[in-house]
A and B are shown apart, each in its own frame.
Chain A
Amino acid sequence: MGAAGQVLRRGGDGAGGRSLRRRDALTAWLFILPTIVGFLAFVIGPIVGGLALGFMRYDLLTPPSFVGGENFVKMIEDQRILQIFGNTIYYVVGMIALDLVWALILAVALNSFIPRFFKVFFRAVFFFPILVSGAVISIVWLYLFNMDLGIINWYLVKLGLDRVPWLISSDWVRNSVIIMTVWNGVGFNMLLLLAGLQNIPVELYEAGRIDGAGRWASFGRITLPMLTPVIFFILVKGAIGVFQLFDSPFVLTQGGPGDASRTVLMYIWERGFQVLDFGYAAAIGLVLFLAILAVTAVQFATSDRWVFYR
């Protein structure tokens, strides 16, 4: 009998052995009890409470009353909800696509044969915005995007181009939010992709060169497939995060003009904390949760067709 078997059978199968195993199990439960209590109190509890609230009428200052599916009927009749969900999906697609492409370009550039000093410098430069508060960044970009007095339009006019109504045009405002949010967060995904690039075995590229693969073939046949696990992670995490986008459009545009840049989470906040209709806000939250769940499930279900794990 090996050492492990001896350990497992320590105390034997008799009463002494069972008592020891019970004590070991109790110790294990005691270790994880704080985490369980915290998880129940701060994660499961609010989720269940939120789900229940979706079937209630509650204005915070009077007791909640059960109203069945009234909030969901209200959602169907809500003339604003479609545009707001549409904005959110636009942000998900736009931000993830732009972020992924830009982060990949940066990561490939930083992984190339440039002096180490410049690698370290540019890595820090592109990562730095993540360290700054989103609200602060939004305020700075508010000045940059200003149509009449902002510096971006100032130089566009100097170049003979027309001013862009970055924040006051329904056609442009979502793109402005995307530009700012991607600029803010691209550094994190750049680091993930850079780590992925540095973990690709060099032998694969050598084998490719032997077989006559050029730079682009190497990128398409070796680099991208080897990066698919990281890309998958970025897509899943990114979608979950952008579906819950709040701070940047809140500070930058307050959801305007009209509802042109309003996200679902902003609308939940408005209905809950401005209109004090917490039941309806919770119902919208439930629908958002189901939407995120559905998208994530589809991503996982289709991942085995394109994600390559070594």
Chain B
Amino acid sequence: MSLSISRRSFLKTAATASAAGVLAACVPAAPSTDDGAAAESIKIVFVTTESSDSSAVLYDPIKTEFQEEHPEIEIEFLGVVGAGGWGGYFDKLSVIIAGGETVDMGKIPTEGGRLAVARNLIRPLDEYIQATPELDDYFNDVSAELASVFVYGGKTYGLPYDYNNMMIWFNITRLAEEGLEMPPEDWTFSDFREYASALTRKDGANTTHYGFSFWTAPFGLCPWLFNNGLEGIMGGDDLSVPLQGDPAYAEVIQLLYDMMYVDETVPKPDAQNTGNFEAGTQAMMMAGRWPLSGFLQNDFRDWDVQYWPKGTRRVTEVGCGSWPIFLASEHPEAAWKFETKLLQRDSIAYFVSTGANIPSLRSVGYSEEFLALHDRSGRLWYESIDRDDIPVMSVTSPPEFSEMEQISNRYLSQVFANELGIAEALASTEQELNDMVARRPEDWAAKFA
């Protein structure tokens, strides 16, 4: 019997098979009929800001311990990465959830807390907290200021595991070159401006060393506003009141503008912050603790930090990280078990050792292990939220955080490009933010009352 096959027959068979494959791919998978084994295995999808592979590596020690204690719960990481800062992260997360992807828990910072609550993405945790004695140590150890960051309308939606604040970093080599000492912690806006001038050098028409540089995304703008007596970019319990009409707001923008165009101690706003600081071409920079990991990798240790200068008062700005549980989760109890594990002291200490944020737990923030990561001023990081004389305020985070950021940046970019007056820019910003608030659904106010 001949086993040969004609070319026509082969091609017909191949075409039929490929068409069948395409049609089969369009058919949804049949539900599993093996109920016994499937019911005992729960998969938790955990959304992070690192790539899925990086998250798997980062969380691996904690996940391994957890799964030894709970072999029935499997943790899968879903990385949401890309450009756009926290605003971009929320945009992508919203698209993922709207697209029907099942996610159980994930990283949500302060900037996204109200957004997540307003859009019914996350669930209150109060009942879970009350039923979990394993978190007693957490609540005895966490700063009260941080524990309330994710409380909206009297309900707790998240528990901070880390945070970042804003400090002024000094390149101490540049300080020494100009014969300057570190400023005292109660230094003022005027002192700060003088320091920037003293630390700026010119070579003819070229400026070789700048005193400072700034950025005006909400986390960078708010410390100026807070320390000049304002609630932030927007105010009110439900963050529905734009504050650009307050003279204190214009004072802050005028200060930054004058440093750029009058004193010429600050480069134009397209400058790169951390790199210039490390290179020594910029003596001061504004940041939280996040540049530290890069500095350690580059073995750059010539830095020190000081509290934010005082305007009309002293305030520490914070932005916290938490792991809320999504309303769409089909396994909230299992997700809560993993969250409880993540909030143990050892877990928080582990995360801080791998990253560049500040631990939410006091015992970790003042621990020898944490302080050893800093050549100097290591205590300032946690102390900044631990003092009775310095209130703590969260970065302005309305439910429309992305839109607020875009509106604010759009007008401030024109101010610092010297193309729009401060008064006109702030009036336009206020108008657009009012329009933004006017579009809010009516039920949002009750969620934050």
C-alpha gap A250/B21 in the complex (Å): 40
Cβ of A297 within 8 Å of any chain B Cβ, yes or no, is no
Cross-chain contact A169 with B97 (CB below 8 angstroms): no
Per the bound structure, the CA–CA distance linking A69 and B261 in Å amounts to: 46
Q: Are B119 and A61 in touch, CB under 8 angstroms?
A: yes
User: Which residues between 105 and 157 of chain A lie within 8 Å of chain B, taking CB atoms?
Assistant: 135, 142-143, 145-149, 154, 157
B119 surroundings in chain A (CB, below 8 A): 61
Whether A66 sits at the interface, judged by CB under 8 Å, is no
Question: Contacts A30-B19, A258-B414: A170 and B419 contacting too (C-beta < 8 A)?
Answer: yes
Does B11 make an interface contact (CB < 8 A)? yes
Q: A residues 141-183 with Cβ under 8 Å of B?
A: 142-143, 145-149, 154, 157, 165, 167-170
**Candidate in A148, A154, A255 with the most chain B CB atoms within 10 angstroms:** A148
Is residue A216 within 8 Å, beta carbon to beta carbon, of the partner chain?
A: no
Residues of B within 8 A of A299 (CB): none
Nearest CB on B from A201, distance (A): 40
Within B380-411, the residues touching A (CB, 8 Å) are 400, 402-403, 406, 409-411
Interface residue B16 (Cβ < 8 Å from any Cβ of A): yes
A-B contacts at CB below 8 angstroms, number: 108
Stretch touching chain A among B27-35, B151-159, B268-276, B351-359: B268-276
Contact B94 A33 (CB under 8 A): no
Does B255 belong to the interface (CB within 8 Å)?
no
Which candidate, B166-174, B205-213, B291-299, is the interface stretch facing chain A?
B205-213
Q: Are B19 and A148 in contact (CB under 8 A)?
A: no
Q: Does A15 contact B (CB under 8 A)?
A: no
B413: which of A38, A149, A157, A258 is its contact (CB, 8 Å)?
A258
Interface of chain B, main secondary structure: helix
A168 touches B269 (CB 8 A): yes
Encode B247-286 as 1/0 by CB contact (under 8 A) with A: 0000000000000000000011111100010000100000
CA distance A273 to B97 in the complex (A): 13
Query: CA–CA, A270 to B409, complex, Å?
Result: 13
B410 cross-chain contacts in A, Cβ below 8 A: 255-256, 258-259
Task: Output the residue of B23, B270, B413 with the most chain A CB within 10 A.
Answer: B270
Contact between chains at B270 and A258 (CB < 8 Å): no
Q: Do residues B11 and A250 form an inter-chain contact, with CB atoms below 8 A?
A: no
Asked if B420 CB lies within 8 Å of chain A CBs, one says yes
Q: Are A257 and B413 in contact (CB-based, < 8 A)?
A: yes
Report Cα–Cα, A254/B410, bound state, in Å.
9
Q: Chain B 192-206 against A: per-residue CB contact (8 Å), 1 yes, 0 no?
A: 000000000000111
28 contacts between A and B (CB under 8 A): A27-B11, A30-B15, A30-B16, A30-B18, A60-B94, A60-B98, A142-B272, A147-B267, A148-B268, A149-B267, A157-B204, A157-B205, A157-B206, A165-B268, A165-B417, A168-B270, A168-B416, A169-B417, A170-B417, A256-B409, A256-B413, A257-B413, A257-B417, A258-B410, A270-B406, A273-B91, A273-B402, A275-B403
Q: A residues within 8 Å of B by Cβ?
A: 27, 30-31, 33-34, 37-38, 60-61, 135, 142-143, 145-149, 154, 157, 165, 167-170, 250-251, 254-259, 270, 273-276
Nearest 9 interchain pairs by C-beta:
A257-B417, A148-B267, A30-B15, A256-B413, A274-B402, A257-B413, A273-B91, A168-B417, A147-B268
Interface residues of B (CB under 8 A from A): 11-12, 15-16, 18-19, 21-23, 26, 83, 87, 91-92, 94-95, 97-98, 119-121, 204-207, 210, 267-272, 276, 281, 400, 402-403, 406, 409-411, 413-414, 416-417, 419-420
Given contacts A30-B12, A34-B22, A273-B91, 10 further A-B contacts (CB under 8 A): A34-B19, A61-B121, A142-B272, A168-B268, A168-B416, A256-B417, A257-B413, A258-B410, A258-B414, A273-B95
